[in-house]
Amino acid sequence: MTDDKLFSSLKIKNHLFKNRIGVAPMTRVSSPGDSIPRKDVLDFLVRRAKNDVALVYTEAIVTDYESAQGYPNQSRLLTQRQIDAWRPVVKAIQDAGSVAVMQMFHCGRMAWPEINPAGRVIAPSPVTTKQDNPLTGKPYTVPDEMSRFDIDHVVRGFAETAKGAVEAGFDGIEIHGAHGYLINAFLSGYSNKRNDAYGGSDENRFRFAEDVIRAVKPVVPKDRLLIFRISNWGVADASVSLFESKQQWQQMIRFLDAHPLDAISVSTMNYADKAFGTDKNMAQLTREVTEKPIFICGGIYDRNTADDAVKDADMVLSGKSLLLNPDWVADIRANKPLEQRTGKEADVAYTETPLP
């Protein structure tokens, strides 16, 4: 029998996680007009909390009204109405004994000019992704290289959105630095070709993330959590290693480690995959250079994979399994045989069909 680390509690600062299972951030494109998610989408999050998930993430919330949005009908947390809509949801998650974390992002070169009032796409450098936009089947627009003005402006959007989350009562804020979106695009030499202070060396490529952390930290009260999500893969660069080597990955983790973050969330395609030609997985390589709590995600779908993944991390996150199965935590607890869910099945997330 496996040990039960998975169902043991975890304390990070003053926040108690009742077990090691969280629902990963999942975009739902359900917020037309006022950038407030549909009621069934909000209810879905509360139901996951009631069904024993220790940590509930919001979908990725876009950080401004100009250039951040990459999918139709995304959510924001910048106005009083948006804050008022989230507040009871956060409270219901907390009342169910779970920790509520808001994830925020700017889509960078994966934004659409058509749905952003600024009518432009901005990124560290004018290079597009390898794959086409999965929603249109067409190439993404070549982005404008961000000016210093753009950088400062976008950083403020992260701070303003964090303020909204604090006001709505969230226990934590996550800076989305993964999946090829703006922050990740700065971190990776594959998409960052700049030769100013924001490109070139590892330190320079980290600078934009650092600016965001420095701007966000002061608006997050001491008792709330600040988390950073990072990955070596991008949504439209699925086969590209965004970091060149284990050394480069670990250098970025060291930079994160040196900042006032409460956890590092590592997103993978499959948690068990050996990374960068080593015999270690991403969580293990991350653990080598940080003592901070690590959240791991990717391909965790049953008791075996959850137990195995949590060995090298502090929390496991599930996307597709928890999206489609409201009883996933109970099923895991009962060691029920479970199938790995597919991306195609998960596409229901982007429809108007309410999820159980």
Ligand X SMILES: Cc1cc2nc3c(=O)[nH]c(=O)nc-3n(C[C@H](O)[C@H](O)[C@H](O)COP(=O)(O)O)c2cc1C
Binding site for ligand X (CB under 6 A): 24-27, 59-60, 103, 176, 178-179, 229, 267, 297-300, 318-321, 323, 346, 349
Residues 6 or more apart whose CB falls under 8 angstroms from that of 217 comprise 226, 259, 260
Question: From the CB of 269, what's the least distance to ligand X, in Å?
Answer: 7
Check 71, 181, 190, 271 and give the catalytic one.
181
Q: Using only C-alpha atoms, what is the Rg of the chain?
A: 19
Q: With 0-12 CB in 10 A as exposed, 13-18 as middle and 19+ as buried, what is 342?
A: exposed
Residue 331 vs residues 121, 273, 297: alpha-carbon distances, Å: 43, 24, 18
Instruction: Please give the angle made by the CA atoms of 190, 192 and 193, to the nearest 5 degrees.
Output: 100
Question: From the CB of 195, what's the least distance to ligand X, in Å?
Answer: 29
Question: From the CB of 351, what's the least distance to ligand X, in Å?
Answer: 10
Which CB sits closer to ligand X, 26 or 187?
26
Question: From the CB of 45, what's the least distance to ligand X, in Å?
Answer: 13
Main-chain dihedrals φ then ψ at residue 277, nearest 5 degrees: 70, 15
Bridge partners for 266 per DSSP: 230, 296
Give residue 237's Cα distance to chain centre: 16
Q: CA–CA separation, 353 vs 323, rounded Å?
A: 12
Which CB sits closer to ligand X, 251 or 318?
318
Question: From the CB of 47, what's the least distance to ligand X, in Å?
Answer: 16
Q: CA–CA separation, 319 vs 301, rounded Å?
A: 9
181 is catalytic: yes
Q: Which residue is nearest to ligand X (CB)?
A: 319
Residues 6 or more apart whose CB falls under 8 angstroms from that of 131 comprise 236, 237, 238
Which CB sits closer to ligand X, 25 or 169?
25
* β 55-62/21-23 pair status: parallel
Question: From the CB of 59, what's the least distance to ligand X, in Å?
Answer: 5
Question: What b/e string do you get for 204-215 counting C-beta neighbours within 10 Å, with b at 16 or more?
Answer: bbbbbbebbbeb
CA-nearest of 48, 158, 168, 27 to 98 is 48
Which CB sits closer to ligand X, 85 or 227?
227
Which CB sits closer to ligand X, 17 or 328?
328
Which CB sits closer to ligand X, 68 or 199?
68
Q: Which residues are catalytic?
A: 181
